[in-house]
Amino acid sequence: MDIIKLNGLSYASNTYVLISGADAAVVDPSANIDDIKKALGNAKLRYILLTHCHFDHILRLDSLRAETSAEVCIHRADADMMKDPDLNGSAFFGLDFASLGADRIIEDGEIIPLGKETIEVISTPGHTPGSVCYECGYDLICGDTLFSSGYGRYDLPGGDGNVLFASLKKLADRRDDPMIHPGHGASCALSDADIIRAIRYREL
Ligand SMILES: [Zn+2]
Ligand SMILES: [Zn+2]
């Protein structure tokens, strides 16, 4: 699966375009629409996958959806939050942003086919109650759960530090070493992420 990373708009969240054969998915559409379309090329956009409900990851969601027949997918626990400025984080930054909502609810362990490959949904709550990672072969798109240096905040609506730590431990317990692609900042190997090293070697 080809993974193309695009820079988001003013809040610097990352958008990822996944391409497998003639099919594509976009994770967290916050980048410029023209940049997303350019990355898609001739591939057919099947899904818009959301790692969580926060406004900085869905800024271009409704305009991208309006131009395609792609299914918008989000975990149940974040599905209503994306429609509410108080719950999607925008009110916290003095904005009044709301999305129309999702088309399809996804659950932990769900397998989403794309081209001849698959994407697996891994539930990692804590940053928000419905935060998920998307596993695509050796790549893990992890939203705001895990960054190369640090992890997502848990003081916004629905956030929970203990739950987030349990999710980070679940990732730290993995035996493989996927490339992580966070919602903000640089990608790196899972084993090189600061908090994963801290959990593994310092037994936090
Ligand atoms: Zn977030
Ligand atoms: Zn974010």
Q: Would you say 14 and 183 are in contact if contact means Cβ atoms under 8 Å apart?
A: yes
Domain boundaries, the chain: 2-202
- Closest by Cα among 87, 74, 90, 174 to 131: 74
Question: How high does pLDDT run on average in the chain?
Answer: 95
pLDDT at position 7:
86
Q: What does the pLDDT average to over 9-15?
A: 82
Residue 136: pLDDT band by 50, 70, 90 thresholds?
A: very high
Write the pLDDT tens digit of every residue in 89-121. 999 989 999 999 999 999 999 999 999 999 999
Q: What does the pLDDT average to over 189-197?
A: 97
Ligand sitting nearest the alpha carbon of 156? 1
**Six-digit token string for 73:** 């997918």
Report the separation in Å between the CA atom of 184 and the middle of ligand 2, taken as the mean of its atom positions: 6
Regarding the domain with residue range 2-202, which homologous superfamily does it belong to in the CATH classification? Answer: Ribonuclease Z/Hydroxyacylglutathione hydrolase-like (3.60.15.10)
Ligand sitting nearest the alpha carbon of 183? 2
pLDDT at position 119:
98
Report the separation in Å between the CA atom of 192 and the middle of ligand 1, taken as the mean of its atom positions: 21
pLDDT at position 55:
95
Residue 10: pLDDT band by 50, 70, 90 thresholds?
A: low
Report the separation in Å between the CA atom of 196 and the middle of ligand 1, taken as the mean of its atom positions: 19
Ligand sitting nearest the alpha carbon of 128? 1
Report the separation in Å between the CA atom of 97 and the middle of ligand 2, taken as the mean of its atom positions: 14
Ligand sitting nearest the alpha carbon of 8? 2
Report the separation in Å between the CA atom of 138 and the middle of ligand 2, taken as the mean of its atom positions: 23
pLDDT at position 181:
98
> Distance (Å, rounded) from C-alpha 98 to C-alpha 44?
26
Report the separation in Å between the CA atom of 152 and the middle of ligand 1, taken as the mean of its atom positions: 7
Amino acid at 78: D
Ligand sitting nearest the alpha carbon of 126? 1
Is it the case that residue 203 has pLDDT exceeding 90? no
Report the separation in Å between the CA atom of 127 and the middle of ligand 1, taken as the mean of its atom positions: 7
Q: What does the pLDDT average to over 56-74?
A: 93
Residue 202: pLDDT band by 50, 70, 90 thresholds?
A: confident
Instruction: Reduce the DSSP state of residue 189 to 3 states and report it.
Output: strand
Is it the case that residue 204 has pLDDT exceeding 60? no
Write the pLDDT tens digit of every residue in 157-186. 999 999 999 999 999 999 999 999 999 999
pLDDT at position 12:
82
> Above pLDDT 90, what percent of the chain?
93
Residues 6+ apart with CB under 8 A from 29: 15, 36, 48, 57, 58, 59, 60, 61, 64
**SS3 sequence of 81-148:** HHHCCCCCCCHHHCCCCCCCCCCEEECCCCEEEECCEEEEEEECCCCCCCCEEEEECCEEEEECCEEC
Ligand sitting nearest the alpha carbon of 30? 2
Least confident of 30-34, 72-76, 132-136, 167-171: 30-34
